[in-house]
Amino acid sequence: MNEIKVAYIWEQNLIEYCDRLPAVLGRASIVHSLIAAYGLLNHTKVIRSKSASYTELKLFHSDLYLDHLKTFTHVEDDYISTAEDEQFGLCYDCPPVSDMYNMVSCLAGGSVTAAKSLLMNVADVAINWCGGWHHAHRFGAEGFCYVNDIVIAIEILRKKFPKILYIDLDVHHGNGVQDAYNLSKSVFTLSFHKYEPGFYPGSGNIEDIGTLNGKGYTCNFPFQGLYTDDTFLYAFDSAFNMIYAYFMPDALVVQCGADALARDPHGGAGLTLDGYCLCIQKIMKKRIPTLLLGGGGYNHTNASKLWASVTATVVGVTLDDNIPEHSFWPKYRSDYTLKIQPLLTKDVNTKQYLDKCIDSIRENLRKYLKQDDKDEHLEPDAKRRKIEIEEKAHEIKIHSIFKKKLVLKNDEIHKTDEKIKNPLDVYDFDD
C-alpha cells in the first residue's frame, strides 16, 4: 500500500474559506493543523488547490444560482434572507455569507483539483478534507452545503473514468449526489446513513434504488438509532463487495463525513475511528483511483482525529495515541489522545435486520445489473472464481489507464505556505 501516490489538496485560501462556513466555523484549520502536526504531509504530495471556474461550477449548478451567489459581496450580520434567496436555499441552515461566489468556487476548486490530480496521474489517491458537501442541489444550497463539489469532481473524473462508484459514509443520506445520478448507469451511488422519522434529510430508504435507466444503480443502507462499528462494518463489507463485483468501477469517490462518530452534536450514531478506518482499508485494497472527501462533522476535534487517522491509513502510517503539541493542542483537552470512545448504548440494528437489507441489495444487483443473469446457473465457488478473474482483468485495465501519461502544462514546484511545518513541494497544474 505504501507505494501508492497520495495527493493532499491544500491552499491557505481553501482553509480560510472552509473555516468561514457557518456550520463548521474554524474546523478546517483544526483538521489541517493536526494532519501537519502528525507529520503526515511528509508522506503525501501537497497539491495547491485552485478555485473552480464558472464553467466547472456549471458542470452541476445552474447559472441562475451561480449568478445569484455573485450578488453577495458584503453581507451584514443582521441580513434577512429575501424571497429570492430562499428560492435558492439561502436561508435557515445555509444563510448568505460575504463573498459567497468566491467561497463556493474556492471550495469546489479543492475537489476539482483533487479530481484533476487523479486524472493526470499525479496521484492514485487524492484527499480534500475541505470538500464533501453532499446535500447541495443544482438550483441551490441545502443542509449546510452551498456547493456540490462532489458532483462537479465526479463530472471531471468521468472524462477519463467511465464508471464511478460513489460511497457516502456521512450519518446523513447523500441526497444531493444521489439525485444528480438518479437516472445514471455510469455513476453508482451507495450511501450508509441513519434513517429515522424526523432525521434529516428524510430520504434514502432501502427501496430507493434509482429511476428509469438508472434503476438499480443507487443503493441505500439505512441504519436505526446509534449504530456501532460492528453494524457499520458488517453492512459495509457486504454491500461494498457485492456492488464492486457487479459494477466494476473505474474510480471511487468517498465522502467521509465525520458526523457518524459517537457524540457528534448533529449525528446520533456511535462509530469510532476504527469503524471508518477499517472501511477505508477495504477501499484502499481495491487499488483503483480514489478521491477522499470530508463532509459533516460538528465535533471539530473528533472530525480532525478522524481525518488525520484516515490520512494515516492511506499513507500507511500508525499514529501515536497522544495528540502532538501544536497550536490547537488545548482544544483536545478532554484527554489529549486520539482515541474516540464507543458509546455504551445498545445497537438496535439486529443481524436479522442487516441481513434483510443485504438480501434486498443483492436482489437488486441481480435484477438490474447485467452480470447476474448469465452467472445465475454457476455454483458459488465457480461464481467466486469468475469474479476473481474479472477483478484481475479490471485491475489490469485500471493499471493501463494509470500508465497513460497526461501532460502537465504547468508543473512548477513551489514551496508551501509557512503554515505547513515541514516545507514540502507543492504542485500547481492547469488543464
Q: Which of 259, 286, 315, 349 binds Zn ion (CB under 5 A)?
A: 259
Could you check whether the bond before residue 201 is cis, i.e. omega within 30 degrees of 0? yes
Q: Which is nearer to Zn ion, 250 or 259 (CB)?
A: 259
Contacts of 31 (CB under 8 A, 6+ apart): 129, 294, 300, 303, 304, 307, 308
One character per residue 132-171, x = contact with Zn ion (rule: CB under 5 A): --------------------------------------x-
Q: Residue 93, annotated ligand binder?
A: yes
Q: Is 32 in the site for Zn ion (CB under 5 A)?
A: no
Q: Residue 176, annotated ligand binder?
A: no
Gap between the Cα atoms of 187 and 409, Å rounded:
29
Q: Which is nearer to Zn ion, 170 or 347 (CB)?
A: 170
Q: Which of 178, 143, 168, 123 is nearest to 427 (CA)?
A: 123
Q: Which is nearer to Zn ion, 10 or 129 (CB)?
A: 129
Size of the site for Zn ion (CB under 5 A): 5
| Cβ at position 222, least distance to Zn ion in Å | 14
| Cβ at position 173, least distance to Zn ion in Å | 9
Residue ranges in 171-230 that form contacts with Zn ion under rule CB under 5 A: 172
Q: Which of 61, 135, 173, 193 is catalytic?
A: 135
| Cβ at position 175, least distance to Zn ion in Å | 11
Alpha helices in 252-379 (DSSP H): 273-285, 300-315, 351-368, 371-375
Q: Across the beta sheet with 425-427, what order do the strands follow?
A: 218-223, 187-194, 164-168, 251-255, 290-293, 125-128, 6-10, 45-48, 425-427, 413-415
First to last CA, the chain: 28
| Cβ at position 172, least distance to Zn ion in Å | 4
Q: Is 257 in the site for Zn ion (CB under 5 A)?
A: yes
| Cβ at position 259, least distance to Zn ion in Å | 4
Residue ranges in 271-310 that form contacts with Zn ion under rule CB under 5 A: 296
Alpha helices in 171-320 (DSSP H): 175-180, 229-247, 273-285, 300-315
Contacts of 190 (CB under 8 A, 6+ apart): 165, 166, 167, 168, 219, 220, 221, 239, 240, 243
135 catalytic? Reply is yes
Q: Residue 257, annotated ligand binder?
A: no
> What does the DSSP assignment read for 42-91?
GGSEEEE--PPPHHHHTTTS-HHHHHHHHT-SS--TT----HHHHHTT-S
For residue 56 the three cell numbers come to 466547472
Q: Which is nearer to Zn ion, 142 or 259 (CB)?
A: 259
Q: Residue 65, annotated ligand binder?
A: no
One character per residue 63-102, x = contact with Zn ion (rule: CB under 5 A): ----------------------------------------
Q: Residue 326, annotated ligand binder?
A: no
Q: Residue 181, annotated ligand binder?
A: no
Cite the annotated binding site for substrate by residue number: 93, 143, 298
Active-site residue set: 135
Task: Catalog residues that contact Zn ion under the rule CB under 5 A.
Answer: 170, 172, 257, 259, 296
Cite the annotated binding site by residue number: 93, 143, 170, 172, 259, 298
